[in-house]
Amino acid sequence: MLLVLSEEHKEHLGFLTQVDSAVVGEFGRIAVEFLRKGTNPKIYEGAARKLNVSSDIIQHGVEGLTYLLTEGSKLMISEIDFQDSVLVLGFSEELNKLLLQLYLDNRKEIRSILSELAPKLPSYHSLEWRLDVQLASRSLRQQIKPAVTVKLHLDQNEDQTTKILQTDPATLLHLIQQLEQALGEMKTNHCRRIVRNIK
Amino acid sequence: MELSEYVQSGLQTLADSGCFSPSAYTVLLQTAFQSLLNAQADQVALDHPVLKHIDPTVLKHCHAAAATCILEAGKHKADKSTISTYLEDCKFDRERIEQFCTEYQKNKDTLEIILGSIGRCPLHITDVSWRLEYQIKTNQLHKTYRPAYLVTLNVENSDSRSHPDVSFSCTMEQLQDFVGKLKDAAKSLERASQM
């Protein structure tokens, strides 16, 4: 699958031919940093002064590069497809190689950042448990009532929540049995076939 | 067992065969037990023909006294001799004591279950459901290709009312961790029960 670049996009990336490869590498680093932490317009101004161009041009260059890297990472395009997509820009051999390297080096991290954008439910973080035996209450003395109290830690969008829950021994065994069945499902022929065939 | 003056005087009236004939005593005793143990019981039970000639205020007093006595006995898991002694002090005759103890013995287990279920506790897990999915892509990321589980714990609060369930997603490794920890808890329960 090839990346289709718009005219505007090609124009923005055109700026990269006018600087040397160290600068392109630097732009690449800035692009990934912006993906990690968000954009910082001051960086554009600093670079604009050093290279003696307007900060708009710098911004377009970095954004063009960012789009190239994220689209490639999102679609998980192969090396060959990436090279072919970039060929249409008419860059030098050296610049093409540099862009490919930038793509391959950062693809995994960019994909991991993109996966954070998906709709999500609270996810499991960890579990602590405690065994209790209730001996008496206001309404009944001389009891022996075992219970398991758990503290479930969940993550949701960088907030950690905890839930305190309790269960009795019979339900605990039932939970274990049900969830072991769930774990076993991935090993069934049906699931294996699906995993093998969806690529 | 220590009960208030109000209860003691109610029991003494109940013991008095001038106020309560043997059949009236039997009916009131059964009514007292039923009103505690049967969630659907209502006031109609005190309308039994055998109790008609007794003053309603007295009836209510004795019914309340009997019910309180039953609850106290249940709360402390009192044995037959404790109950007998107490009823003797309230001037019950042998026969009425026997009747009370027999009725109590019959209903003891149900009573304990009801008393034991009163109280607060953290949200109680009653069941679990799960879903296995294979993620293919999102609008931001294609070819994700990984399995994920969605686990829902059905939860009740202490009044046995249902509460919104606790749901979470997890990977296979995380689910293995979760189940592993639950199994540790179960193992430790088993060891504790053998001590």
Do the Cβ atoms of A118 and B141 come within 8 Å? yes
Contacts of A180 in chain B (CB under 8 A): 179
Which pTM value belongs to this model? 0.76
CA distance A174 to A133: 20
Judged against a pLDDT cut of 70, whether residue B43 lies above it is answered with: no
Judged against a pLDDT cut of 80, whether residue B88 lies above it is answered with: yes
How would residue A108 be classed by pLDDT, with cut points 50, 70 and 90?
very high
Judged against a pLDDT cut of 80, whether residue B47 lies above it is answered with: no
Report DSSP letters for A44-60, one per residue: HHHHHHHHTS-HHHHHH
Contacts of B132 in chain A (CB under 8 A): 182, 185-186, 191
Report DSSP letters for A120-181, one per residue: ---EEEEEEEEEEEE---SS--S--EEEEEEEEEEEETTEEEEEEEEE-HHHHHHHHHHHHH
pLDDT digits (tens, 9 = 90+) for B134-178: 999 888 888 888 899 999 999 988 777 777 889 999 999 999 999
Among B residues 108-167, those touching chain A with beta carbons less than 8 Å apart: 112, 115-116, 118-119, 121-130, 132, 134, 136, 138, 140-145, 147, 149-151, 153, 155, 166-167
Judged against a pLDDT cut of 60, whether residue B44 lies above it is answered with: no
CA distance A151 to B118: 23
CA distance A100 to A106: 10
Question: A85 with A2: CB under 8 angstroms?
Answer: yes
Residue A88 at interface with chain B, using a CB cutoff of 8 Å: no
How would residue A49 be classed by pLDDT, with cut points 50, 70 and 90?
confident
Q: How far is the alpha carbon of B179 from chain A, nearest alpha carbon, in Å? A: 6
* Distance, first Cα to last Cα, chain A: 14
Contacts of B142 in chain A (CB under 8 A): 74-76
Question: B171 with B148: CB under 8 angstroms?
Answer: yes
CA distance A82 to A68: 9
Report the share of chain A in percent with pLDDT over 90. Answer: 42
Angle at which helix B56-75 crosses helix B94-116, to 10 degrees, equals: 60
